[in-house]
């Protein structure tokens, strides 16, 4: 090789990758420009419309853009990702019908880092199998858990509600109750001191599920990451304790033990850190939304004497049918029809989770617009649950609207999602909410809501920032 050829070789080796990179960018930009993308705005450079998305009233954020761009689909840039919002009942059905065909599940980067899933490529079907394989959340297997749930809720009321306290903060107690139930069911953990510690840590994490992941002192996300680290270490300690106990021949029947003893959907036994991350995700789902719905049930029952009287009558009839000391059973839960309608209406007016994300795994077309592969797809209940086309007088709190099956159209009020990605814990949450309502209405005469206009956090999680305070009678 000639000297000049030798000198030219490194220059060529550098030029070729750079040329290829810019050619790729040009091709990608040209492709995006030629696509018929949905109308909308990307907002500010880098941050897009994230600040409004996570801080503004969610229904306001969505409805403003539906009016401005399209009532069916619009584009935006949120949480560091280009995304489309698919709206309405038809949009809900489209997303639900195309799981694993056009979409896969996607979690915001803040959640991925909190739960240590940022290195994983999510597989929706695998996640569902991971939860459903042991059958912990199937309704037929919850039959055996009704009495346990009833006992836990009764103990909760005896400890925190009927001990002569006049003023209580409902949201915090709801969190404590829900985590106590979830800890025993998912983790096999009964130590109340450890559960109370975890409850405070999980509460800190909940404020940072859908935020810009700025991890430096003073930010919400920094506090959440510290809390997540402590929770993960606590779970690892619990896993080690369980291994010792199981080695001694003790059988355990909880989700955590199942994960420890069985491979995942690929046949691989996962590490303790991975188990901790997956359990953190499961418990978070069973912690945040049910606690919020429980608190807002108390709020609406306290503000609507007519609704309160109907629920109380239903629950008192069930109580009178029981023998002394006899707990609830599955048949009792099925009788609580009006009570469940109240819970559904609470979740319509204040969805426990405003929406969720998917990722496009191929280019697809919807309503004449093309959504490129890799873009995020967001569906939200706020496009249907307060829409007068689906619910007459949507601002009114009216549980009777569910008494006629024809009055509520499919894909309009779906707090648990729908299709293959519907929440597998729906029956578990239903059991918890109805058991709580039974004890609330049979143990407490009535209550006053002291801060009915409590400020509710914007964004995806409607958390009452100052809590919900009531005075018991």
Domain residue ranges in the chain: 34-472
What mean pLDDT do residues 425-436 have? 92
Distances (CA, A) of 29 to 73, 82, 185, 403: 22, 14, 50, 52
Model confidence, pTM = 0.86
Would you say residue 142 has pLDDT above 80?
A: no
Kindly state the tokens that stand for 14: 């550098």
CB 409 within 8 A of CB 390: yes
Confidence of residue 407 (pLDDT cuts 50, 70, 90): confident
In sequence order, which ranges of 166-219 are alpha helices (DSSP H)? 170-182, 192-206
- What local confidence, expressed as pLDDT, does residue 24 receive? 44
- What local confidence, expressed as pLDDT, does residue 363 receive? 97
Least confident of 47-56, 112-121, 150-159, 223-232: 112-121
Compute the radius of gyration of the chain from its Cα atoms.
25
For the stretch 396-428, what's the b/e string if a residue is b when 16 or more beta carbons lie within 10 angstroms of its beta carbon?
eebbebbeeeeeeeebbbbbbbbeebebbbebb
Compute CA 353 distance to the chain's CA centroid, rounded to the nearest angstrom.
5
Q: Taking Cα atoms as reference points, which of 399, 448, 437 lies closest to residue 313?
A: 437
Residue 203: which residues within 8 A CB-CB, separation 6 or more? 172, 175
Q: What share of the chain is helix, strand, coil (3-state, %, to 5)?
A: 55, 10, 35
Q: Taking Cα atoms as reference points, which of 119, 85, 115 lies closest to residue 206?
A: 115
Q: Cα–Cα distance between 329 and 317 in angstroms, integer?
A: 14
Kindly state the tokens that stand for 459: 């964004």
- Look at 129 and 153; give whichever has higher pLDDT: 153
Would you say residue 30 has pLDDT above 60?
A: no
- What is the torsion angle, in degrees rounded to the nearest 10, for the CA atoms of residue 395, residue 50, residue 76 and residue 84? -70
Q: What is the pLDDT of residues 193-244, one digit of tens each?
A: 999 999 999 999 988 988 889 999 999 999 999 999 999 999 999 999 999 9
How many Cβ atoms from other residues are within 10 Å of residue 11's Cβ? 9
Residue labelled with tokens 């426990």 = 352
Query: CA geometry: angle at 14 spanning 4 and 3, to 5°?
Result: 10
In sequence order, which ranges of 254-320 are alpha helices (DSSP H)? 255-261, 272-303, 305-320
Least confident of 81-95, 307-321, 400-414: 400-414
Would you say residue 11 has pLDDT above 60?
A: no
Class of the domain covering 34-472: mainly alpha
Is residue 80 left, alpha or beta, with left meaning phi > 0 and alpha meaning psi from -120 to 50? left
Q: Cα–Cα distance between 294 and 178 in angstroms, integer?
A: 9
Kindly state the tokens that stand for 251: 């059988």
H or E element that contains 433: helix 426-443
């Amino acid at each position: 090789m000639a000297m000049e050829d030798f000198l030219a070789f490194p220059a060529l080796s550098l030029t070729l990758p750079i040329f290829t990179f810019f050619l790729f960018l040009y091709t990608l930009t040209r492709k995006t420009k030629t696509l018929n993308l949905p109308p909308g705005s990307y907002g500010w450079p880098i941050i897009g419309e994230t600040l409004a998305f996570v801080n503004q009233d969610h229904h306001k954020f969505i409805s403003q853009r539906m009016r401005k761009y399209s009532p069916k689909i619009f584009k935006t840039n949120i949480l560091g990702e280009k995304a489309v919002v698919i709206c309405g009942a038809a949009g809900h059905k489209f997303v639900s019908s195309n799981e694993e065909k056009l979409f896969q599940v996607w979690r915001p980067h803040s959640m991925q880092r909190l739960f240590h899933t940022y290195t994983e490529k999510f597989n929706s079907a695998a996640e569902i199998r991971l939860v459903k394989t042991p059958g912990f959340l199937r309704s037929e297997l919850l039959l055996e858990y009704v009495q346990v749930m009833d006992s836990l809720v009764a103990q909760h009321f005896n400890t925190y509600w009927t001990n002569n306290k006049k003023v209580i903060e409902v949201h915090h107690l709801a969190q404590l109750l829900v985590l106590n139930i979830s800890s025993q069911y998912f983790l096999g953990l009964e130590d109340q001191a450890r559960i109370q510690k975890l409850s405070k840590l999980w509460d800190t994490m909940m404020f940072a599920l859908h935020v810009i992941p700025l991890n430096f002192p003073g930010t919400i996300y920094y506090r959440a990451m510290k809390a997540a680290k402590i929770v993960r270490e606590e779970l690892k300690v619990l896993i080690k304790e369980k291994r010792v106990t199981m080695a001694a021949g003790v059988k355990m029947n909880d989700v955590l033990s199942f994960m420890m003893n069985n491979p995942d959907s690929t046949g691989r036994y996962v590490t303790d850190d991975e188990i901790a991350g997956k359990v953190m995700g499961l418990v978070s789902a069973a912690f945040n939304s049910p606690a919020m719905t429980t608190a807002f049930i108390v709020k609406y029952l306290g503000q609507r004497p007519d609704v309160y009287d109907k629920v109380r009558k239903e629950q008192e009839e069930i109580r009178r049918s029981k023998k002394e000391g006899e707990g609830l059973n599955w048949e009792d839960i099925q009788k609580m029809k009006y009570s469940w309608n109240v819970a559904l209406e609470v979740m319509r007016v204040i969805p426990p989770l405003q929406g969720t994300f998917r990722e496009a795994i191929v280019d697809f077309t919807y309503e004449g617009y093309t959504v490129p592969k890799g873009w995020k797809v967001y569906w939200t209940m706020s496009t249907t649950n307060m829409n007068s086309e689906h619910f007459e007088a949507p601002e009114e709190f009216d549980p009777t609207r569910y008494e006629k099956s024809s009055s509520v159209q499919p894909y309009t009020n779906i707090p648990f999602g729908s299709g293959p990605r519907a929440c597998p814990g729906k029956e578990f949450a239903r059991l918890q909410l109805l058991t709580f309502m039974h004890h609330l209405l049979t143990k407490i005469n009535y209550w006053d809501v002291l801060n009915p206009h409590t400020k509710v956090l914007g964004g995806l999680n409607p958390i009452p920032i100052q809590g919900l305070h009531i005075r018991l009678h």
